[in-house]
Amino acid sequence: MKTEMNALAQGFVRCHDCGCLTKIPAANRPRHCRLCGSPLHARQANSLQRTLALLISAFLLYIPANLYPIMTVTQLTAGEPHTIIGGIIELIKGDMLPIAILVLVASILVPLLKLLGIALLLLCVHYRWQVDAHKWTVMYRIIAFVGRWSMLDIFMISILVSLVDLGGIARVIAGPAATAFAAVVVLTMFAAKSFDPRLIWDNQR
Amino acid sequence: MVYFNERDLCYNSIYPHNNSWTMSRIELDACAECDLLLTPARPAVGDKARCPRCGYLLQRPRKQSVARTFALSLTGLILILPANLLPLVGIKVLGNTRDGTLWSGVLTLYREDMWAIAILVFLSSILVPLINIVLSVLVSGHLYFRRPNRYLPYWMRWLQHLEEWAMLEVYMLGIIVACVKLASMADLRFGFGLYAFIALLIVNALLASCLDPYLFWRRIEQLQHNHRHEN
């Protein structure tokens, strides 16, 4: 019932960029939007496969991102490698609980919930779960919105690295986990972008 | 809040399609996130039109959207220079001082062989924000002076795609966390660049709320259409 109200069911394809509708007359339909020239797809091309591929890569990189040190703080001679969790524990020990919670949310909870959330969305579409599509669309929106905030840790490292470069006194060096973590953030952002929420609605009866 | 009207769905009888493949977007519209076919409402300025089925924000008309976007993006273009070049924060430890700019972080990371992160930080805090501001100057400027340009749709498309990759506000949060971490071990000084950076952030936020993509695309459509008919 619900799908009959979809533009696609009524023979229209919406341009992903400018939102303008194109009528599909069965055979030879235009391949590009008449207004903005972007390629026309009724749904994002290979949405599930692309999202899954990006999601698996992100899952794999999430492991080294948490195991390796994200930065090494050297004061005088003693070097101290920090993992993401180690940095948060350090903040809690230093009585900076609000900032610790902020970092915990941005660099642990958000990536983890994003990975799980996108996986759920994929399962929902693939197995044609009958769900409250509105709630799932809201979940998709939240996932798409929060992704960029995980870059917080990367930016913080970039600032620390450039400021704390005082020769023998103190130095901060970025660690291998930083690259892995940045890759997780970028990959999950692309995964969220390649997922097409209209697929949830298509499956509802 | 204004909802889109869901009228009866026998559009073919209302709009018998002739030989042209396309329907004007003024007659019909579809939701980007649930693909519901809609007849566009005309919400009042300051109101929001949401999809009745999934709640997606379809339109949010603003007062003088084009003129304000043009003015704000020009302001942003001016602010980008000091925000990029002047020091944001500096520290002083045992008589040693160091200033950090947007660029110094990128350069230090690059020198430490973390080139992937260096490129990512460069893109998301320097290049993409710059491109976005330039694109919105171009788009809103052309619309404001009603000058057609065949690249107008391309600029607008890129502007929409790059929007989420400009992460100035996340960078600001990074500065705050870094300052809190450093506060115990060093004296912090805030440079003039930080004030320019905060101003740029505010301008960007206002810009995002001023620019109504729906209106912009319709104005681009009109402009291109008139241009084609004059020639």
Supply the pLDDT for residue A27. Answer: 59
Which residue, among B15, B27, B33, would best test binding to A if mutated, counting the most A CBs under 10 Å from its CB?
A: B33
CA neighbor of B50 nearest in space, from B61, B59, B39, B63 = B59
Shared domain for A38 and A132, answered yes or no, is no
Nearest 5°: phi and psi at A32? Answer: -125, 150
CB-CB contact of B64 with B117 (8 Å): no
Quick one: pLDDT at residue A44? Answer: 85
Angle at A150 between CA A193 and CA A83, to 5 degrees: 135
CA distances from B172 to B79, B179, B191 (A): 15, 11, 14
CB contact under 8 A, A35 and B224: yes
The number of angstroms, rounded, from the C-alpha of B3 to the middle of its chain's C-alpha atoms is 25
Query: Measured between CA atoms, how close is B130 to chain A, in angstroms?
Result: 18
| Amino acid type, A112 | L
Could you tell me the residue range of the domain that residue A169 belongs to?
46-202
Amino acid occupying residue A190: F
Which residue out of B126, B161, B181 would a mutagenesis test of the A interface target, given it has the greatest number of A Cβ atoms within 10 Å? B181
Strand partners for B96: B93
User: And the tokens for A187?
Assistant: 């990959």
* ipTM for the assembly: 0.89
DSSP annotation of A170 reads E
Say if residue A38 is in the same domain as residue A50: no
Could you tell me the pLDDT band of residue B191, with boundaries at 50, 70 and 90? confident
Residue A174 Cα, gap to closest chain B Cα (Å): 8
Same domain, A61 and A31: no
Q: Say whether both A23 and A82 belong to one domain.
A: no
Q: What is the mean pLDDT of residues B134-156?
A: 93
Confidence grade of residue B199 (pLDDT, cut at 50, 70, 90): very high
| pLDDT band at residue B162 under the 50/70/90 scheme | very high
Find the Cα–Cα–Cα–Cα dihedral A160, A166, A167, A172, rounded to 10°: -20
Helices (H) and strands (E) in chain A, counts: 8, 5
Q: Which of B69-73, B146-150, B157-161 is predicted with the least confidence, judged by mean pLDDT?
A: B146-150
B positions 82-101 inside 8 Å of A (CB): 88-91, 93-94, 96, 98, 100-101
Look at chain A and report how many structural domains it folds into. Answer: 2
The per-residue pLDDT for A25 is 63
The better pLDDT of the pair A180, A18 is held by A180
Are both A143 and A105 inside the same structural domain?
yes
Going by C-beta distance under 8 Å and a sequence separation of 6 or more, which residues neighbour residue B8?
none
Domain boundaries, chain B: 1-61, 65-230
Tell whether A159 lies on the interface with B, counting CB pairs under 8 A: yes
User: What is the DSSP pairing of strand A12-14 with strand A21-23?
Assistant: antiparallel
**Is the pLDDT reported for residue A80 higher than 60?**
yes
Chain B closest CA to A70's CA: distance in Å?
Answer: 12
DSSP string of A183-194, one letter each residue: HHHHHHHHHHHH
The helix (run of H) or strand (run of E) holding residue B190 is strand B187-190
DSSP letter (8 states) at residue A32: B
**Shared domain check, A29 and A69:** no
CB A137 within 8 A of CB A200: yes
Please check whether residues A27 and A67 belong to one and the same domain.
Answer: no
B11 chain-A contacts, CB cut-off 8 A: 10
